[in-house]
Chain A
Amino acid sequence: MDDLPLLKIHDLSKFYGNRIGCTNVSFDLWPGEVLAVVGESGSGKTTLLNCLSTRLTADAGMIQYRMKDRGYQDIARMSEAERRVLMRTEWGFVHQNPADGLRMSVSAGANVGERLMAVGARHYGNIRAEAVDWLGRVEIDEDRIDDQPRAFSGGMRQRLQIARNLVTSPRLVFMDEPTGGLDVSVQARLLDLLRGLVQDLSLSVIIVTHDLAVARLISHRMMVMKNGHVIEQGLTDRVLDDPREPYTQLLVSSILQA
């Protein structure tokens, strides 16, 4: 049912002692929607992403996810086993540093095939064929399938990480600065790839980035964070072209024009 939100976030907060990690974050996310969370260092965007993806436990608030076979599930009430299965199947997480999201000493094909094997795939030929298919979709040459990611460039590693995450057709993918640290032309290629995949697969994506151009290119909606608070949110082109809040105006005006 595409009419119902996939994810419902209510008043999510995380504190580090007296310091605010993020606070009072609320939003809904629908299937096929891309939400960008932007802000500078220390804004709380990464804390928020980690809470949403259950890598951190929030101190307050609720995360409700619409499960495939039943209704909304309060993620905090799930058992760790169920959460881990969720992270491997319906959810994905693309790390900023691809080495954090890959097994560096295992071949590219095995990296892509691991999730399939984790959910019971037992036919080597089929697993390999799927890996080849996915490597093609992220524009990695088929003859690199047996190479280890150690031998890949940064952009290639990142594309491999994306393939590894998407092989189980997740519904929701979290991305933490996926283009950070990549050369500009490599970034453009990666973003174009992501755009295409998001559309083709009707993915919901929550992407954290400090790069507004990335947000404009790939997201439908945007949330601007500062000091742990969401200070503005709305349609991406509206927030970028008609920023309301002082901080948003500052951010938008700070973009360097090439």
Chain B
Amino acid sequence: MTHQTGDAGMQPPLVVSRLAKTFTMHLRGGLTLPVVQNASLLVNVGECVVLGGPSGVGKSSILKMIYGNYAINSGEILISHRGETVDLAEADPRKVLEIRRETLGYVSQFLRTVPRVGALDIVAEPLVARGVSLAGARDVAASMLSRLNLPEALWQLPPATFSGGEQQRVNIARGFITDHSILLLDEPTASLDAQNRAVVVAMIAEKKTRGTALLGIFHDEDVRNQVADRIVDVSSFSARKAAA
């Protein structure tokens, strides 16, 4: 378990300490399912840390815990937000939403579609939430979708009927469009072809140059090698045996 600090004296944007989580499945008679214990890691400015380990070991769950989507049993999730350090695990819902709006971004594995809203507007929404005009946000969204080679004919359509790869590109564009200082990426290239994988790799590199702290899961070894500054093996935090 190694971690390095960035520039001398600069607090890493994301510091996770001793996370522990156990699911209790009441519908299965109270069966407990430990997920992680004693998980600690940090991500520095401009760094891309990759969560490694076999599937089923809890990588996605860790990302969701950091995002506040999953609760934790104990531990700290320290985020540099508005110049201060906030423990997301202790933050009330309003604070969590504020952090998500301004500081912490997330590209989930599957796009949850909203009916009736077109792809362009879905991508533009995080910017609009930050106060950018709708027209301006749509412009930026358009350039992102172009870069990800999403055909313009699809931009006005709600993504519910898109292919997996198309949906994923919408998801990526939406996650990368702002200048959040921390970005969580859950298998962002899983359904993409080589050309678009390269685009995503380039986008990640640009984010790093801008100082964004990235924490991601990459199934594809090639992509992983291109983007990872460090790999943290999650198996050491695992509270259960990895899936066979």
Do chains A and B make direct contact within the complex (CB under 8 angstroms)?
yes
Residue of B nearest to A245 (CB): B26
Count how many chain A residues have C-beta atoms less than 8 Å from C-beta atoms of the other chain: 22
With a cutoff of 8 Å between Cβ atoms, the chain B residues found around residue A245 in the complex are 26
Stretch from B44-52, B62-70, B174-182, B197-205 at the A interface: B62-70
Mask: chain A, 167-199; 1 = CB below 8 Å from B; 0 = not: 000000000000000000000110110010000
With A221-B93, A234-B93 known as contacts, the answer to whether A192 contacts B117 (CB < 8 A) is yes
Binary per-residue interface labels of chain A (236-253) against chain B in the complex, 1 for a CB within 8 Å, 0 otherwise = 011001101110011001
Closest residue of B by beta carbon distance from A191: B115
Q: With A220-B93, A249-B27, A250-B27 known to touch, is A238 a contact of B114 (CB < 8 Å)?
A: no
By a CB distance below 8 angstroms, the chain B residues around A72 are none
Contact A192 B116 (CB under 8 A): yes
A30 to B117, CA, bound (A): 26
Check B116 against A242 for contact (C-beta < 8 Å): no
Among residues of B, the one whose C-beta sits closest to the C-beta of A235 is: B93
User: Which of B64, B97, B116 is within 8 Å of A189, CB to CB?
Assistant: B116
Task: Identify the closest chain A residue to B115 (Cβ).
Answer: A188
A30 to B92, CA, bound (A): 12
A196 → B minimal CB distance (Å): 9
Which residue of A191, A192, A242 is within 8 Å of B71 (Cβ)? A242
Known: A192-B117, A235-B93. 16 other contacts (CB 8 A): A189-B116, A192-B116, A195-B114, A217-B114, A221-B93, A234-B71, A237-B69, A238-B68, A238-B70, A238-B71, A242-B71, A244-B24, A244-B71, A249-B26, A250-B26, A253-B27
Going nearest first, the 9 A-B pairs with the smallest beta carbon separation are A246-B26, A188-B115, A235-B93, A192-B116, A242-B70, A221-B93, A249-B26, A242-B71, A241-B69
- Taking beta carbons and an 8 Å cutoff, which residues of A are in contact with B? 30, 33, 188-189, 191-192, 195, 217, 220-221, 234-235, 237-238, 241-242, 244-246, 249-250, 253
A-B residue pairs in contact (CB < 8 Å), sample of 25? A33-B94, A188-B115, A188-B116, A192-B114, A192-B115, A192-B117, A195-B114, A220-B93, A220-B94, A220-B97, A221-B93, A235-B68, A235-B93, A238-B68, A238-B69, A241-B69, A241-B70, A242-B64, A242-B69, A244-B71, A246-B26, A246-B27, A249-B25, A249-B27, A250-B26
